[in-house]
Amino acid sequence: MCVCLCIPVTPVVENMVGLKPSDVPPPLGVKMASAGAAACIADIVTFPLDTAKVRLQIQGEKKAVQGIRYRGVFGTISTMIRTEGPKSLYNGLVAGLQRQLCFASIRIGLYDNVKNFYTGGKDNPGVLVRILAGCTTGAMAVSFAQPTDVVKVRFQAQVNLDGVARRYNGTMQAYKHIFQNEGLRGLWKGTLPNITRNALVNCTELVTYDLIKEAILGYNLMSDNLPCHFVSAFGAGFVTTVIASPVDVVKTRYMNSPPGQYKSAINCAWTMLTKEGPTAFYKGFVPSFLRLGSWNIVMFVSFEQIKRAMMVTKKRVEVPN
């Protein structure tokens, strides 16, 4: 009797941890669409943490508005809700989703194809090839999606208080205002530090996820399912935060600055170092980790499942009745 009861447990557990991987490698269109959709889901879930991170990163470059100071990620979120209302946590969400649709679909969706291009289609590429592929797709994505990042950061930095003038009233108005007042250079402001930052983030994020996942599967610690994706994504988020945080702070400060405040991104970094010390480069580290860690978990888990769901749907559509 006991044996009979134990037999169906494994299939049931397997079915509870998500869709199985497709037997056929997903085509480029499926990978790009699922990456963009997964990144949007991750942004919606983690956007308040990202906004808190931006507020903490720019704190110190100018006087506090109406004496408001931010202390820690949850303190920042609490202060923003109290002083500006809950909606302030989602300032710039529209630009953020626009950014992810074109940004993540390129940097994540193209990663496997670029990796295969560099190896000539060989299996088991080395770490250097993976890093090169991650840097390549990260730089490509930034070059294309930079204006959306500029608008997103400026909205997140904007304080919504009575008596305090707002820089922008809407996403499209922000694009138009920046173009009219700062030209195309304004829309692509901070491209160099952003390429540096996202090349680091992308190659660290994707390569770390790749390596952790392969190690877990190689040692048969887990099967290719949700727990495996969760652990791999968490590790990728932590490693990425440690490496990319200094460049991320400089990128945020520089993109949010008015014309003339900094001569260049390097000048911005030097000003931070001389006026605030080296710890300024790790301002907002905790929200950065909370955001990147949770973002990676939501994104990679969603990405794997959406990709597999799209392949199941594609297979059903292609099978003749």
* Residue 272, SS3 per DSSP: helix
For 104-159, how does the pLDDT look when each residue is reduced to its tens digit (9 = 90+)?
999 999 999 999 999 988 888 999 999 999 999 999 998 889 999 888 888 888 87
Q: What is the DSSP letter of 60?
A: T
pLDDT recorded at residue 90: 92
Q: Within 13 Å and on the Cβ side, how many CA atoms surround 111?
A: 24
Beta strands in 194-290 (DSSP E): none
Which pLDDT score is estimated for 107? Answer: 94
Closest CA to 130 of 69, 189, 209, 57: 209
Q: How far apart are CA 320 and CA 315, in angstroms?
A: 10
User: Using one digit for the tens of pLDDT, what is the confidence trace for 35-93?
Assistant: 999 999 999 999 998 888 888 877 766 555 556 788 888 899 999 999 889 998 998 89
Confidence at residue 8, expressed as pLDDT on a 0 to 100 scale: 41
Q: Which residue has the higher pLDDT, 320 or 147?
A: 147
At residue 257, the pLDDT reads 86
Element (H, E) at 167: none
Asked whether 196 and 247 are in contact (CB, 8 A), the reply is yes
- Averaged pLDDT of the chain: 86
DSSP 19: P
In terms of pLDDT, which residue wins out, 62 or 317? 317
CA distance 6 to 4: 6
* Domains of the chain with CATH codes: 23-191+278-310 (1.50.40.10)
Would you state the structure tokens that stand for residue 105, as one six-digit string? 């679909």
Spatial CB neighbours of 19, under 8 Å, sequence gap ≥ 6: 305, 308, 309, 312
Torsion sign over Cα 165, 266, 188, 243 = negative
Lowest mean pLDDT among 1-5, 221-225, 292-296: 1-5
Distance (Å, whole) CA 266 – CA 65? 27
Percent share of the chain, pLDDT over 70? 89
Mean pLDDT, rounded, for 169-194: 89
